[in-house]
């Protein structure tokens, strides 16, 4: 079963169970997936679906930071629940230790000399680890190692 089919099936189940919150989150996700499908002009592969879901989670995390700034805790809690629903569809991310180990291997191969080589390192990380890492965390770890 593809990721799209899984999302559609879960959306149907949320309708049947009258789980309005999950239903609304999955409808927003389905809409984002449809937009991506239209822009790509083909059915989405699982890795493309995961990329869309990660984008949705990132958007919500950014919104959470803004709401926290203005002390709107009800919205923050709402966004946390939305992230929880969306995270069910994401592959488990590598732990920080596993990520650091992978970065050490990549650094040994790429041999970056300065911050100018960060692009090469990030490209290699993206190629090897793909959707199993949070790229913002990777970026900060790579900057630490390069400095």
- Compute the residue count for the chain: 147
Whole-number percent of the chain with pLDDT over 70: 100
pLDDT tens sequence across 10-31: 999 999 999 999 999 999 999 9
- Find, among 21, 136, 34, 132, the residue nearest to 82 by Cα: 21
pLDDT (average), residues 124-136: 81
Domains, the chain, ranges and CATH? Answer: 3-87 (1.10.1510.10), 96-146 (1.10.10)
For residue 90, pLDDT beyond 80:
yes
Q: Is the CA virtual torsion 56, 58, 62, 64 positive or negative?
A: positive
pLDDT tens sequence across 36-62: 999 999 999 988 999 899 999 999 999
Query: What's the rounded Cα separation, in Å, for the pair 33 and 11?
Result: 13
pLDDT classification of 115: cutoffs 50, 70, 90: confident
Average pLDDT, the chain: 90
Query: What's the rounded Cα separation, in Å, for the pair 39 and 33?
Result: 10
How far does Cα 112 stand from its chain's mean position? Answer: 27
The pair of structure tokens assigned to 35 is: 């937009």
pLDDT computed for residue 37 by the predictor: 95
DSSP structure string for 44-113: PPHHHHHHHHHHHHHHHHHHHHHHHHTT-HHHHHHHHHHHHHHHTTSPPPPPHHHHHHHHHHHHHHH---
pLDDT classification of 118: cutoffs 50, 70, 90: confident
pLDDT (average), residues 105-127: 86
């Amino acid at each position: 079963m593809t990721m799209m089919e899984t999302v559609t099936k879960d959306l149907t189940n949320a309708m049947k169970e009258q789980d309005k919150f999950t239903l609304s989150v999955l409808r927003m996700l389905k809409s984002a997936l449809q937009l991506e499908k239209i822009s790509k002009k083909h059915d989405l592969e699982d890795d493309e679906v995961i990329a869309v879901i990660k984008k949705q989670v990132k958007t919500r995390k950014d919104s959470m930071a803004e709401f926290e700034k203005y002390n709107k805790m009800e919205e923050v809690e709402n966004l946390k629940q939305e992230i929880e629903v969306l995270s069910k569809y994401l592959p488990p991310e590598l732990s920080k230790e596993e990520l650091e180990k992978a970065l050490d291997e990549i650094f040994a191969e790429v041999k970056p000399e300065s911050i100018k080589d960060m692009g090469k390192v990030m490209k290699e990380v993206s190629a090897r680890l793909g959707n199993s890492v949070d790229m913002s965390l990777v970026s900060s770890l790579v900057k630490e190692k390069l400095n």
